[in-house]
Amino acid sequence: MATENAPNASQYIVHHLTHLKSSTQASLVDWSVFHLDSLFFSVGLGLLAVAAMAHLAARATSGVPGRLQAALEIMVEMVADQAKGIVHSPESRKFVAPVALTVFIWIFLMNAMDLLPVDLLPNIWAAIFGAAGHDPHHAYLRVVPTADLNATLGMSLAVLLICLYYNIKIKGIGGWMHELFTAPFGSHPVLYPINFAMQMIEFVAKTVSHGMRLFGNMYAGELIFMLIALMGAAWAGTFGSSLLWVGGVVAGTIWAIFHILIITLQAFIFMMLTLVYIGQAHESH
Amino acid sequence: MNLNATLFSQLVVFFILAWFTMKFVWPPIMKALDERATRIADGLAAADKAKTDLSLAERRATDELRKARETSNELRAGAERQGTQLIDEARAEAARIIAAARTAAEGEAEVAAQRAKEALRDQVALLAVAGAEQILRKEIDAAMHADLLNQLKAEL
């Protein structure tokens, strides 16, 4: 199978896991770099989602709804119900419930990019890149924004900011400070530093796990799609290798069907945790 | 697993999308849902009211029907009573007329019988006289025996 310029398995994987970047990443953390592919797909899908929803909402009728309006209403009611059960302030829900809806739809769409054939968009991009006079071997593209830690942590940080905002809004600066130093163990000068440390760990753990959970699921899913694609690509004309191709089709089908569950579930979990964390910010210890 | 500025871009995009949804998606949909809920509630209330009205109307109709039936029964009973009375009266009248006619006829018959009897008596007397005249032409003087004949006539 190995022609001169075909990549081997590890090159294939590495190529697919390399982002389209604005510049080279100098170190593990480099704030001057943008992942253009993640930004393109997340902004594009986000705009698509809110534009479609706004379009439907603008035409929403209180009479008999059309199918699309009914679908959107089902989503809105589901989110509104969940929000009502978790965030008890109607005033906060005016912002929090739309946030949850946005998060759910947006993340679902970003996750759903995983269901496109792994090579489809990267190959199209390589063709465009090559046509523009560049080396198509250096045309990198990752199409699943939620398989990019920056995107998921960006969203979980946004949720953290909302939590901090409501902590201060509901309890006041003083009340929140008091809570930071007296909960969860109690009000005693000796316990102040321990309480504070616990609170900080809690915030960090919530935010990191929130972002990492989504990232991990989508990254792993993407990786498995790549491995399945590699198995299918191992077909080299012999009978034994044709079985690999059949295996690739079967495994790809099974994993894609299973992945429908995962992308929906992860979007739902992210939304629910968003609501739960914001709900916790409303509660005094 | 590199961290870079994509993170902050995503954070900003998050808030922009959330704001957009809050502004342009959530309110119209919630408004439509609330309006529909109100309309459904109104419709259900109207249906309930209609059902109550219907049962009231049914009850009223039944009442009217019953009343009409009672009235008609009353009327029929009255008419029957009146009819019977008329028949009775007519029967009594007829009986009276028949009785009167009978009495009149009997009276007339009696008078006629009396008259016939008297005529008969006269004629019998005449016959008797005539017979006796024939038989006793010679022996009896009419004038002599007139008292006797008159006495005989009165006895008849």
Report the complex ipTM: 0.89
Would you call B134 an interface residue with chain A, using a CB distance cutoff of 8 Å? no
Q: A34 contacts in B (CB within 8 Å)? A: 4-6, 9
Indicate the pLDDT class of residue B147, thresholds 50, 70 and 90. Answer: confident
Predicted local distance difference test score (pLDDT) of residue A233: 80
Q: Residue A262 in contact with residue A67, Cβ under 8 Å?
A: no
- Whether A1 has a pLDDT exceeding 60, the answer reads no
Predicted local distance difference test score (pLDDT) of residue B138: 65
Predicted local distance difference test score (pLDDT) of residue A138: 83
Across chain B, mean pLDDT equals 89
Which of these ranges, A31-40, A122-131, A196-205, A234-243, has the smallest mean pLDDT?
A: A234-243
Which tokens in the block code for residue A146? 């939620």
Candidates A209, A241, A242, A284; catalytic one: A209
Which tokens in the block code for residue A64? 């008999």
Question: Cβ B7–A151 below 8 Å, yes or no?
Answer: yes
CA distances from A207 to A14, A160, A176, B37, B76 (A): 28, 6, 19, 38, 94
User: How far, in Å, CA of A176 to CA of A168, rounded?
Assistant: 6
Residue A145 CB contacts under 8 Å (≥ 6 apart), including other chains: A37, A38, A39, A41, A42, A45, A110, A113, A151, B10
φ and ψ of A142, to 5 deg: -115, 125
User: How far, in Å, CA of A36 to CA of A22, rounded?
Assistant: 6
- Whether A101 has a pLDDT exceeding 80, the answer reads yes
Residue A271 has a CB neighbour count (10 Å cut-off) of 24
Instruction: Label residue B132 exposed, middle or buried (CB < 10 Å: 0-12, 13-18, 19+).
Output: middle
Find the mean pLDDT for residues A86-92.
92
CA distances from A283 to A107, A166, A167, A168 (A): 27, 10, 8, 12
Indicate the pLDDT class of residue A239, thresholds 50, 70 and 90. Answer: confident
**Better pLDDT: A1 or B96:** B96
**Better pLDDT: A97 or A186:** A97
Find the mean pLDDT for residues A67-76.
93
Q: Annotated catalytic, A209?
A: yes
Peptide bond into A184 cis (omega under 30): yes
Which tokens in the block code for residue A66? 């059309």
Mind telling me how many Å the CA of B5 is from chain A's nearest CA? 5
Among A21, A30, A35, the residue to mutate for chain B (most B Cβ within 10 A): A35
DSSP, residue by residue, A125-184: HHHHHHHTTS-GGG------GGGSHHHHHHHHHHHHHHHHHHHHHHHHHHHHHHHHHHTT
Predicted local distance difference test score (pLDDT) of residue A5: 56
Which of these ranges, A73-77, A97-101, A164-168, B138-142, has the smallest mean pLDDT?
A: B138-142
Residues of chain B numbered 71-130 and touching chain A (CB < 8 Å)? none
Q: B33 contacts in A (CB within 8 Å)? A: 62, 73, 76-77
Instruction: State percent of chain A over pLDDT 70.
Output: 97
Indicate the pLDDT class of residue A204, thresholds 50, 70 and 90. Answer: very high
Across chain A, mean pLDDT equals 90
Mind telling me how many Å the CA of B55 is from chain A's nearest CA? 30
Find the mean pLDDT for residues A26-55.
92
Beta-carbon-side half-sphere exposure of residue A45 (alpha carbons within 13 Å): 24
What are the sequence ranges of the domains in chain A? 9-282
pLDDT in tens, A134-176: 888 888 899 999 999 999 999 999 999 999 999 999 999 999 9
Q: Residue A215 in contact with residue A152, Cβ under 8 Å?
A: yes
Residue A45's identity, in one-letter code, is: L
- Whether A67 has a pLDDT exceeding 60, the answer reads yes
Indicate the pLDDT class of residue A3, thresholds 50, 70 and 90. Answer: very low
User: How far, in Å, CA of A62 to CA of B37, rounded?
Assistant: 8
What is the torsional sign of CA A16, A20, A26, A30? negative
